[in-house]
Amino acid sequence: MLAVTRHTTGPVDMTLGITLADQKAIKAWAAPRCDMGSIPESAWALAVVEIETGTLRAACILYEVYKGEVDVHFASDGDRRWATRDILTAMFFYAFHHMDARILKAVIAARNVPALVMALKSGWQVQGRVQGVLSGGADGILLTLAEPDCVYLKGDDHGRQE
């Protein structure tokens, strides 16, 4: 496990972890959920799993397109409880420090307003609309994130605001 966090809000108590184990299975689970088709073999897949049950809750696919430029895709089971500050900090830390990314890029479906709001609150910057880029001809919004803009990696408190 790369990171472990305990989620205690709401009626369900859940301990989550991030793992790189079984890349093939993580990619197979994530591909249909993040509208990618197939995921390149050289991509890294970070899985968010529920420790007690082993249930895969979310995945972050990181694919280095050019040196320092990493495409990011998120997939989930539809439950937002996986997206804790600790989990997101670990994912972005992995991308920027382990993969040595200068810039992260993502295309989010224009119709996926909750994901776009979360991205903007996390420091992502809108670069433009890409017409017909997603399956079925759906439009996507191109976003980028540089490490200094990532709210989860700012300072010793990792962006926490008191």
Structural domain harbouring 23 = 3-153
In the chain, the number of structural domains is 1
Q: Which residues contact 79 (CB under 8 A, 6 or more apart)?
A: 57
Written as one letter, the residue type at 158 is H
Q: Is residue 160 part of a domain?
A: no
Would you state the torsion angle of the CA atoms of residues 14, 63, 89, 3, taken in this order, to the nearest 10 degrees? 50
pTM (two decimals): 0.84
Single out the residue of 30, 48, 35, 39 nearest to residue 110, CA to CA: 35
Q: Is residue 98 part of a domain?
A: yes
Question: What is d(CA 80, CA 162) in angstroms, rounded to the nearest whole number?
Answer: 23
Q: Strand, coil or helix: what is 117?
A: helix
Question: What is d(CA 162, CA 153) in angstroms, rounded to the nearest whole number?
Answer: 15
Q: Is residue 23 part of a domain?
A: yes
Q: Is residue 162 part of a domain?
A: no
Q: What tokens appear for 44 in the block?
A: 């890294």
Q: Is residue 45 part of a domain?
A: yes
The one-digit pLDDT tens for each residue of the chain (162 residues) are 554 555 444 445 568 989 999 999 999 999 998 876 788 999 999 999 998 888 999 999 999 999 999 999 999 998 888 888 999 999 999 999 999 999 999 999 999 999 999 999 999 999 999 999 888 889 999 999 999 999 999 865 544 454
CB 72 within 8 A of CB 62: yes
Q: Is residue 161 part of a domain?
A: no
Phi, psi for 55 (deg, rounded to 5): -70, 130
Q: Is residue 147 part of a domain?
A: yes
CATH number, domain of 115, equals 3.40.630.30
Q: Is residue 158 part of a domain?
A: no
